[in-house]
Structure 1
Amino acid sequence: MLNSKQIQALRPRERRYQITDQAGLALRVQQSGVKSWVVRIPQNGRVLDITLGHWPEISLLQARAMARKKRQELQLEPSGSYTFRDAFKFWCNKKKGRISSYRDEKLRLEKYIVSKIGNRQLDSINPPILIKLVEPIEAAGKQSTVKRLLMRTREIFDMAVNAGFLNSNPLAKITKVFATPEVRHMPSIDWKELPIVISQIEAKAPPKYRALFYFSLATLLRPGEVVSVRIDWISEEAITIPAEFMKMKRTHRIPLTPYLISLINEAKSIRKNKRSPFLFPATNKNRHISGQAMAKWLHDQPEFKNKLVAHGLRSIGRSWFADNDVTFEVAEACLAHLVGSQVVRAYQRTDFFAPRQKVMLSWHAYIETCARCAQVLSQKPAESEAPD
């Protein structure tokens, strides 16, 4: 079997020659140096060479696909061609570093699709095959997973069409077969109920999770961003998180306040791994704790299960901003959200740091007020039972 490096290294000779690839496909090298793809077809006791096109205009994988299609038309034994795994690798090369969910999407596709039909010829995959593959996933109640799988698989086929490996996408309308998943927002609470939540945190959370909770609430970072915070990112004015660690791939600065400084000092004091560069280190000094640590702890507590998740702390803060007249752009900047069209963002490049300093002072003052209320709630004597 040929490969791209071998093809590129082929040089013209005094006479025309050809190199065989597989199942009748060959590359013919002319005296002029022109390289042409041909497929050899047996016909009436003779061998007929059919020219497919020139290299590099037609790549090796494209030539294999064209040769296989030609042999199918003539009802000959199918030859090896472009598989779904090949198309998946092509998708990975194009999407890596370009979509924030790349790692999750890749693992999901590998688990549910590539592992099942990765070795199938791409042009042999049709809607019924994929429908049968994802129906058990839908039956398990994972509608969102089905949606993501269908979207990305359809995208892989679109890219294969654009690359010339298929004439059309047979999965173009496959999403119509399955019901649209119901959108459910992550559980959260009204910001007015924060004192009750804090009283429960104070009563039950170990020091590490208590520090993680308060730091998440004060910074309003996403769970994965919270645990990635390194000590050397903290200056006298702000915590500056590099773009590659943020979901939106933009540098994010969190204004320091006296309250946030006290939380940072508390987190440092309870660290068991003092040599770790992370504010919330794992046992291994070169790693931080899991981004799901806070979410798992909340899920394990009956008081919070299906009522509050780690990501829901951002919703509490955003709702407080809305009800306390914080302007839309500033409130969204506090959550590191991108606002406006691409044109608007091209002109508006500020991160609203100065107004966010004032907003965060007020937000942190509210958290401290809730903490004081929580102490009152925890000290309040239980109501006596009513007499018989």
Structure 2
Amino acid sequence: MGKLSATSVKAATRPGRHGDGDGLFLVIQTSGAKSWVCRVQKNGNRRDFGLGSAAKVSLSIARERAREIRTWVEMGLDPLFERRKLQGVPTFRQAAAKVIASHGKNWRNEKHAKQWLQTLDSYVFPEIGDLQVHDITGPMIRNVLSEIWLSKPETARRVRQRIGTVLDWAYASGYRDSEAPMRAVTKGLPRQPKKDGHFAAMPYTKVPDFMTRLARRESFSRLALRFAILTAVRSGEVRGATWDEFDLDAKLWTIPKERMKASREHVIPLSTPALRIIERCLELRIGSRILVFPGAKGDAPMSDMTLTKLLREMKEDCTAHGFRSAFRDWASEETDHSGEVAEAALAHKVRDKTEAAYRRGNLLEKRRKLMIDWADHCIKLPNKDVPPKPEIET
């Protein structure tokens, strides 16, 4: 027989724990809120389990729930896991939604969430999306990955990582009794072909001729690619460039930290050819559009595949990102500019914490000279201020 009664529970007002016996307590907060807690102890370990608000859970139900928890503990089971099983185990699709919602708070933009959903929707949900997470086994995961493991190796690795993240969340939440068996799954798949891990780059000696060909016609995609090459930035930073980031009088482009990979503001000195491209985009600007290099829809950035498609149309197998490598190779092999200045121009994070702590300033004037020299290399014209008049692409 417990020490409490329905009447005493209702009448109790003194803050603190009021014991009923066998580890069941009525907890009263200073605010007057009442709730049930079951305390169990085994092998020297003590744990408390909440049983709900006393306003919604009666004394008799609280006693029943406490007995259930004590039974699970005596059997060597985890009460949290068992209670979640009774509450309903989510499907992989439902668990993925919770993971994306949780992780999305730390992602820099919505694009990452869309990529997650796209890969899961294309390769995972059709096979295991409607299965409860505790029923998903290693062989099931292997079957999902085997379809794309060799044909789309990079995508397959991302899918593997995302499946593992969702199932690890399920384990940590008590919906699975083991972690995702991703190591064993990977061992059960064939070895993927090796990659050098670098973006395909154009040799810097070929960049001047390519820039000449690129300038023969005019479109926003061609202007964007020329500008990306001249500034040695990532294509996404160019495609997302807005007019308020530019100070044309000071010949500076300031990319806010929210748009940078390293989450640090990056100030880029503009060479004369780079500045001319921005001035040309200003002439082509329609109304109050905020993007310097608008996509087909005007108010939305051009796709990340736009520049890739342009390169393929020009019969080049390099990538837009690869021109950063061309710039770095040129700076190292053909100039006396220091590696520190070149790395700063690329907005690379300083790995040595001591060096990073003592580095002062952004080396802006040294980088300005470097970008002028790079423009001189890229554009082999008698007068770099006046490039040949391009054809207009429709």
Q: Which residue of 1 aligns with 2:230?
A: 218
Match 2:161 to one of 148, 151, 162: 151
The corresponding residue for 2:99 is 91
Structure 1 CA distance for aligned equivalents of residues 125 and 373 of structure 2: 50
Q: Which runs of 5+ in 1 are unaligned?
A: 1-11, 18-28, 39-46, 54-61, 70-77, 376-388
Matched, 1:331 2:337: no
Q: Partner residue of 1:320?
A: 330
1:34 corresponding residue in structure 2 = 36
Aligned amino acid, residue 244 of structure 1? E
Q: Following TM superposition, by how much is the alpha carbon of 1:289 offset from its aligned partner in structure 2, in angstroms?
A: 2.7
How far is 1:16 from its partner? 8.2
Structure 1 CA distance, aligned partners of 2:119 and 2:195? 20
User: Cα 1:255–1:223, aligned 2, differ >3 Å: closer, same or farther?
Assistant: same
Q: Distance in 1 between matches of 2:353 and 2:305?
A: 32
Bigger mean CA offset, 96-105 vs 251-260: 96-105
Farther-moved stretch of structure 1 (327-336 vs 217-226):
327-336
Correspondences of 1:136-175 after superposition (within 5 Å): 136-138=147-149, 141-173=151-183, 174-175=185-186
In 1, are the aligned partners of 2:119 and 2:159 still within 8 Å (CA)? yes
Q: 1:210 to 1:370 in 2, by over 3 A?
A: farther
Question: Does the C-alpha gap of structure 1 residues 84 and 208 become closer, same or farther in structure 2, counting only changes over 3 Å?
Answer: closer
- Using a 3 Å threshold, how does the CA distance of structure 1 residues 35 and 187 change in structure 2: closer, same or farther? same
| More displaced 10-residue stretch of structure 1: 242-251 or 181-190 | 181-190
Q: How does 1:237-252 map to 2 (within 5 A)?
A: 237=250, 238-252=252-266
Question: Which amino acid is the alignment partner of residue 201 of structure 1?
Answer: L
**Alpha-carbon distance in structure 2 between the residues aligned to 1:255 and 1:227:** 18
- For 1:351 and 1:292, locate their aligned partners in 2 and report how far apart those are by CA, in whole Å: 32
SS at match of 1:52: helix
SS at match of 2:68: strand
- Native 8 Å contact 2:81 2:174 kept in 1: no
Q: CA deviation at 1:344?
A: 5.0
Fraction of identical pairs, as percent:
24
Structure 1 349/84 Cα, relative in aligned 2: closer, same or farther at 3 Å? farther
Q: Is 1:135 aligned to 2:146, yes or no?
A: yes
**Residue of structure 1 in register with 2:46 after alignment:** none
User: Secondary structure in 2 aligned to 1:87?
Assistant: helix
Q: What is the Cα deviation at residue 188 of structure 1?
A: 2.1
1:283-302 pair list within 5 angstroms: 283-301=296-314
Choose the corresponding residue for 1:208, options 220, 223, 228: 220
- Aligned length, in residue pairs: 323
The answer to whether the Cα contact below 8 Å between 2:233 and 2:346 also exists between their aligned partners in 1 is: yes
Correspondence 1:363 to 2:336: no
Cα distance, 1:123 vs structure 2: 1.5
CA distance in 2, matches of 1:110, 1:350: 46
Q: In structure 1, what is the Cα distance between the partners aligned to 2:128 and 2:353?
A: 38
Residue 116 in structure 1 maps to residue 118 in structure 2: no
Instruction: Decide whether the 8 Å contact of 1:147 with 1:175 is kept in 2.
Output: no
In 2, the alpha carbon distance for the partners of 1:144 and 1:152 equals 13
Contact 1:65 1:81 in 2 (8 A): no
Q: Gaps (5+ residues) in structure 2? A: 11-23, 28-34, 39-49, 52-63, 71-77, 387-394
Contact 1:64 / 1:80 at 8 angstroms: preserved in 2? no
Q: Does 1:353 align with 2:364?
A: yes
Cα distance between partner residues in 1 of 2:257 and 2:91 = 36
- Structure-1 separation of matches of 2:192 and 2:107: 23
Aligned partners of 1:223 and 1:292 also within 8 Å: no
Conserved? CA contact 1:14–1:31, under 8 Å? no
Residue 228 (structure 1) aligns with: 240
- Does the 8 Å CA contact 1:242/1:252 hold for their aligned counterparts? yes
Contact in 1 for aligned 2:256/2:264 (Cα 8 Å): yes
Residues 210, 93 of structure 1: alpha-carbon distance in 2 compared, 3 angstrom cutoff = closer
Q: Deviations over 1:173-205 (max 9, x none)?
A: 1222232452253322211112321233244x4
SS in 1 for 2:148: helix
In structure 2, what is the Cα distance between the partners aligned to 1:108 and 1:142? 12
Specify whether residues 155 and 288 from structure 1 end up closer, same or farther in structure 2 by C-alpha distance, changes over 3 A only: closer
State the alpha-carbon separation in 2 of the partners of residues 352 and 312 from structure 1. 24
Task: Kindly provide the CA deviation profile for residues 18-71 of structure 1, in whole angstroms up to 9, marking residues without a partner as x.
Answer: xxxxxxxxxxx9755315678xxxxxxxx9985237xxxxxxxx96841476xx
2: CA distance, partners of 1:198 / 1:371: 15
Equivalent residue runs for 1:268-287 within 5 Å: 268-271=282-285, 273-287=286-300
Q: TM-score, normalised by structure 2?
A: 0.70
Do 2:324 and 2:346's aligned partners in 1 also have CA atoms closer than 8 Å? Answer: yes
Q: Deviation at 1:291?
A: 3.3
- TM-score w.r.t. the length of structure 1 is 0.71
In structure 2, distance between residues paired with 1:292 and 1:153: 26
Tell me how large the CA RMSD over aligned residues is: 3.5
Alignment of 1:195 onto 2:224: no
Q: Is the 1:108–1:149 Cα contact (8 Å) retained in structure 2?
A: yes
